[in-house]
Structure 1
Amino acid sequence: MILHKGLRLDANLKWLFTELPFEERFDAAAAAGFTAVEYASPYPFPAATLARRLADAGLAQILINSPTGEPGSPERLGYACLPGRAAEFRAGVELGLDYAVALGSSFLHLPAGIRPEGISRDRAFAQYVVNIAWAAERARGTGIRLLLEAQNEQDAPGFILDGQAHAAAVSDALGEEHVGLLFDVYHASIDEKDVVAALREFLPKTAHIQIADAPGRAEPGTGDVPWPEVFATLEAEGYDGWIGCEYRPATETAAGLTWVKEQIR
């Protein structure tokens, strides 16, 4: 694995190694030193094909997302908060769990969705909680932990989870053994007043972390996030989970990995 000072990094293959076709990114990640990967959507490929790619490259699968709508559609960030769309949400959870089990994925992220126009926030949030509660019960016994992620209002206006505290409240209500937080440092750095303080506060509830700098969403060290302090906090608090590299490389993926030793001090 890319392991530095005890912190485990995995490659998000939606964002990294995009200079290659998707199926070739597994070997590229392994060659760069990664031993684990994540990506949002495995669904264009048969699970058996992806499982074979993982095995051939010696990689573990850490996370996938449940299905979302097409880019640009109202469902692009998920179905969970959409009244009248529970059947689609549930079908997506079933499919996601099937893929997660087949790939050996530790986590299934359930994107919360954008509140539809004409629907009150209270109604959309109530639908969200009902759907996540159903998913938590459905995932019981699978060995897959469900993840909830807040996204920033700038990139995702109308997103139903409007901050780490909001996501944490849902996790608390449903039981942290089944539902955990996905703390995305990029999103949190935009929406929270102090990203390091937020990380310290919510780390006990956090099952997985994703990273990208802000602004720009490139690799750490290209923006304004205080990365040495972020990583020092993770070390000091004994975080032993994975850190997903979900950034858009400023140049070429492998060459840009010099940030690891520069920012984790």
Structure 2
Amino acid sequence: MIRGLYTSASGMLVEMARTDVISNNLANVNTTGFKKDRAVFRAFPEMNIHRFDDPEPAGAGFKIDPVPFIGALGTGAVLDEIHVDFTQGRIEMTSNPLDLAIEDTAAGERSFFEIQTPEGVRYTRDGSFTIDAGGFLVTREGYYVMGENGPVNLKEGSKVVINTRGEVYLDGQLVDRLRIAAFPAGSLLEKQGDNLYSAQEGVPLPADARIIQGALERSNVNAVSEMVSLISAFRAYEANQRVVKAHDDTLASAVNEIARI
């Protein structure tokens, strides 16, 4: 009986975690370059269930197993990890020369703009850049966009052209080339906030990606799909909640009956 309470409670906890992840995805459905998360769960080890105290009839040299196997009992689940889905988002043209989108061309490769922050180098797919007071290309939060010569400076010019290879031309003169970092599928990238990622392992490779000027990559969140998943999580939570209540009512009845006796 108590085991059933713990199993149902663990089910409620994982559905709460799944709801939080889905809610965050929906909140960022219009965030440029956002990559949706997926909650990954794992089951606790199952337990073999046996029936005890069966009779052992004798005869003809045979007897019945006193503890026959009935089946397996699940003991609950737990959140294992939050997996980031790096599927390419929709490319939308904006005509703003400082808006940049990355279109991956190599299978399984994930490319990012390299950004300099106070905490070190970070990576992003959000190419909605601006120019700060010093003439540097920066993110919305004011972090420097990195080129091969350091932070990209566009102060001494007016017309900015960035080709598909990330080469930056200012009034027709090549001034720098964007640093685009690529990570193979399976690399561990962790979200850091402000639409930035940090590399937890591995070294970025030269990117085989196409840069599109005057465009932005939209979030890869499908609002309809996420809403369906959210409703499913709510229903699963409610089902586990009803099981907990049923166990609680049964325990209460058992205690009251025993006390009456």
TM range (shorter): under 0.3
Higher strand share: 2
> TM-score scaled by structure 2?
0.21
What is the TM-score normalised by the length of structure 1? Answer: 0.21
Instruction: Pick the structure with more helix per residue.
Output: 1
Greater C-alpha radius of gyration: 2
User: Using CA pairs below 8 Å that are at least 6 residues apart, which structure has the higher relative contact order?
Assistant: 2
